[in-house]
Amino acid sequence: MSGREPASDATSRFSDRVDDYVKYRPSYPPAVIDAIESRARLPAGARIADVGSGTGISAKPWLERGYEVFGVEPNDAMRAAAERLLGAYAKFHSVRGTAEATTLPDASVDLVVAAQAFHWFEPQRARTELRRILVPPFRAALVWNERLTEGAFLEAYEGALLEHAIDYAKVDHRNIDAAAIEPFFGGPFEQLVFENAQLFDREGFLGRALSSSYVPQRGHPKHEAMMAALGRIFDAHEQGGAVEFRYRTVLYLGALT
């Protein structure tokens, strides 16, 4: 991704929106977990490093299936949220680390997962570190929920972001594509696509927007204009008091050869 942020900026930028992130960010379709399980041939009790694990949204499905998960996250507030969400799971381990310096031992995990996170990594340094902590065949899965922009409501929302958001064009993870990901794997990988969606009332819609790092928070000069635009969009497009966010969930799966 061009215009990559300094690591310190990328690490801290979600600290003021953790609550909205926990409440309103989408999870991942069970079919994504099924696909990774079958294609990566995960052994029973496999150890998974969820790198850039955030508030624990992506770790939870693995824990529910009985896997051991190391949630590697540099942001203190997000890591604390994951610990609250997942503290009841004995196989969850919260780790303060980054994709480039996980702090995990050599050859300690069977799979690396990065959900909604790879676009914050320094790819080649991360590749070296993640291969170090993996056992052969060095399996890695990169996952994103990509918000669609087709249809009147989603087009209007995209337009509001382009007009009022802070650095939307720079940090949009859709800047990452298969060509950018190929050097990370260093060899063949699969790309699979799944459908995903969320329904929101007005409060949820505004919270979903504010969970994004590029939407100005209260106190920012652009916040009020952003909120006013979102209110108009909801009023114009709600059906039965709700609007729908539609996603394509994209999975890249392969070995770090």
Using one digit for the tens of pLDDT, what is the confidence trace for 86-104? 999 999 999 999 999 999 9
Q: What is the pLDDT of residue 5?
A: 39
Give the pLDDT score at 173. Answer: 53
pLDDT at position 19, please? 87
* CATH architecture entry for 7-146+172-196+247-255: 3-Layer(aba) Sandwich (3.40)
Query: Position 112: which residue type?
Result: V
Stretches in the chain below the pLDDT threshold 50: 1-12
Distance from CA of residue 189 to its chain's centroid? Answer: 20
pLDDT for 122-175, tens place per residue? 999 999 999 999 999 999 999 999 999 999 999 999 999 999 998 787 655 555
55 with 78: CB under 8 angstroms? yes
Q: Which two tokens stand for residue 218?
A: 């209260």
**Residue 96: predicted pLDDT:** 98
| pLDDT at residue 231, as a whole number | 98
What's the pLDDT at 127? Answer: 97
Supply the pLDDT for residue 175: 58
pLDDT at res. 144: 95
Type of residue at 53: S
Q: How far apart are CA 4 and CA 7, in angstroms?
A: 9
Q: Which residues contact 218 (CB under 8 A, 6 or more apart)?
A: none
| Predicted pLDDT at 6 | 40
What pLDDT shows up at residue 134? 98
Q: Where are the domains of the chain?
A: 7-146+172-196+247-255
pTM: 0.87
Predicted pLDDT of residue 179: 78
